[in-house]
Amino acid sequence: MLTRPKIVLIATGIVLIALAVRLPWLDFQSRDYQAFVAQWYDFIKANGGFAALRYQFANYNVPYLYLLAILTYLPVPVLAGVKMISVLFDLLLAFYAFKLVALKYPRGWQPILAAVVVVLLPTVVVNSSLWAQCDSIYAAFGLGGVYYAVRSRPWLACVFFGLSLAFKMQIVFVLPLLAILVLLRKVPWPALLVVPGVVLLLDGPALLAGADPGALLSVYTDQVGEYTQLTLNAPNIYQFLDITTAADAWRTGGVLFTGALVLGIILVAIARRTPITIGRVILLATLFAIMVPFFLPAMHERYFYMADVLSVVAAFYFPRRLWPVPVLVQFASFFSYLPFLFGGRGDDGIMVDFPWLAAAMLVALLLAGWETAVRLKPASAPAPALVALKQ
């Protein structure tokens, strides 16, 4: 049995390993960093730190800009500071992976292994330490939201989903899970108001600095219409299509089809009246995290980040049938990163053709979908319901 001193020692080791793996990449400047984050930092520093938030100069929501503003007051190199923010949330992400898996294996080694796997996933390592992206922030809060939902702490779950949404819109891929939990009366519907409430609350400091309320509220709607391509290096269904005309019609059709799929899964989950267990909640979250960016148009390669992490947690819950899912998702997701990170530096960066990456993601989606369908079948004997488990 793992004692508290052993857990502290192991956690320290995981942190040191995670930092050691990321250290060699900290000097790398990605094109995203050079074109966006570095310029946002320079603008904030040149315009009085937090006072700069009264201007509209970035296409990210303000909570991330708050973190950049804090950096301008600290004696740390900007590149290292930006990356260490994301690395800290890598660790929080691994913590919630540990907590979720510990619900199934409260005395085993599996939760520690899950944390190690998550913090060392190639996409997680590269996203923060090489790319200087911040997807671990919204994903860590999102995974925390799933954890508190299955712990029957719905209000805190919605706070975490709100924090996630405040940093990045991509958490909406998983939010249909909340609709299912509300309809099954596992989450009171007023708790849903907490999600946008947290987002609005976090706009407060920017409003006090003089920011335009309309600009703050339109950040995500502006992002939705920013790209017209059917796919932006995402390993999804549009990699199988060679479309040169009527792209707008395909985009509209893709959005409607995805919405219909999500609605269908919600209705099936409600109609089956299957007891909602922790494993089924995690399965549904994983299915949504893979399915929605697979069928939605205008997706970036990084939009499968939540699927990268949730697929690992799901595989620990259903190891015999789902172990290939995180392997396939990680393969497709990681190799889709490379053309953007290293393209234009002597070659195009493509190591695996995108249709093959999309095929791998499709297989992962089918496996997750099949397992979800099997688990949602009404059982002859009652399954253990979703309950608050003691620590």
Model confidence over 208-225: pLDDT tens digits? Answer: 999 999 999 999 988 887
Structure tokens at 349: 């960066």
Q: Is the pLDDT of residue 383 over 50?
A: no
Considering only residues 244 and 317, tell me which one the structure prediction assigns the higher pLDDT: 317
Can you give the pLDDT at residue 244? 59
In whole angstroms, what separates CA 301 from the centre of its chain? 12
Mean pLDDT, the chain, rounded, equals 92
Quick one: residue 246, left, alpha or beta (phi over 0 = left, psi -120 to 50 = alpha)?
A: left
Any bridge partners for residue 233, and if so which? 300
pLDDT tens by residue, 135-162: 999 999 999 999 999 999 999 999 999 9
Q: Is the pLDDT of residue 121 over 50?
A: yes
Considering only residues 347 and 21, tell me which one the structure prediction assigns the higher pLDDT: 21
Burial (CB count within 10 angstroms: exposed 0-12, middle 13-18, buried 19+), residue 141: buried
Q: Is the pLDDT of residue 388 over 70?
A: no
Q: Across residues 343-355, what is the average pLDDT?
A: 72
Can you give the pLDDT at residue 379? 56
| CA–CA gap between residue 259 and residue 264 (Å, rounded) | 8
Percent of the chain with pLDDT over 90: 83
The contacts of residue 308 (CB under 8 Å, 6+ apart) are 121, 123, 124, 326, 329, 330, 333
Any bridge partners for residue 299, and if so which? 231
> What band does 5 get if pLDDT is binned at 50, 70 and 90?
confident
Q: Across residues 282-293, what is the average pLDDT?
A: 98
Considering only residues 246 and 373, tell me which one the structure prediction assigns the higher pLDDT: 373
Q: Is the pLDDT of residue 380 over 50?
A: no
The contacts of residue 25 (CB under 8 Å, 6+ apart) are 125, 126, 129, 130
> What band does 229 get if pLDDT is binned at 50, 70 and 90?
confident
pLDDT tens by residue, 18-45: 999 999 999 999 999 999 999 999 999 9
Burial (CB count within 10 angstroms: exposed 0-12, middle 13-18, buried 19+), residue 369: middle
Can you give the pLDDT at residue 384? 47
CB 79 within 8 A of CB 27: yes
Burial (CB count within 10 angstroms: exposed 0-12, middle 13-18, buried 19+), residue 190: exposed
Q: Across residues 295-323, what is the average pLDDT?
A: 97
The contacts of residue 342 (CB under 8 Å, 6+ apart) are 349
Q: Is the pLDDT of residue 387 over 60?
A: no
Can you give the pLDDT at residue 350? 81
> What band does 345 get if pLDDT is binned at 50, 70 and 90?
very low
Can you give the pLDDT at residue 2? 67
Q: Is the pLDDT of residue 48 over 80?
A: yes
Q: Is the pLDDT of residue 385 over 90?
A: no
The contacts of residue 36 (CB under 8 Å, 6+ apart) are 58, 59
Percent of the chain with pLDDT over 70: 94
| CA–CA gap between residue 314 and residue 307 (Å, rounded) | 10
Considering only residues 338 and 2, tell me which one the structure prediction assigns the higher pLDDT: 338
Nearest to 135 by CA among 303, 256, 347, 13: 303
Q: Is the pLDDT of residue 391 over 50?
A: no
Q: Across residues 83-96, what is the average pLDDT?
A: 98
pLDDT tens by residue, 90-105: 999 999 999 999 999 9
Structure tokens at 8: 């502290």
3-state secondary structure the chain: CCCHHHHHHHHHHHHHHHHHHHHHHCCCCCHHHHHHHHHHHHHHHHCCHHHHHHCCCCCCCHHHHHHHHHHHCCCCCHHHHHHHHHHHHHHHHHHHHHHHHHCCCCCCCHHHHHHHHHHCCHHHHHHHHHCCCCHHHHHHHHHHHHHHHHCCCHHHHHHHHHHHHHHCHHHHHCCHHHHHHHHCCCCCHHHHHHHHHHHHHHCHHHHHCCCCHHHHHCHHHHHHCCCCCCEEECCCHHHHCCCCCCHHHHHHHHHHHHHHHHHHHHHHHHHCCCCCCHHHHHHHHHHHHHHHHHHCCCEEHHHHHHHHHHHHHHHHHCHHHHCHHHHHHHHHHHHHHHHHHHCCCCCCCCCCCHHHHHHHHHHHHHHHHHHHHHHCCCCCCCCCCCCCCCC
> What band does 389 get if pLDDT is binned at 50, 70 and 90?
very low
Can you give the pLDDT at residue 343? 74
Q: Hey, what amino acid is at 205?
A: P
Query: What's the predicted TM-score (pTM) here?
Result: 0.94
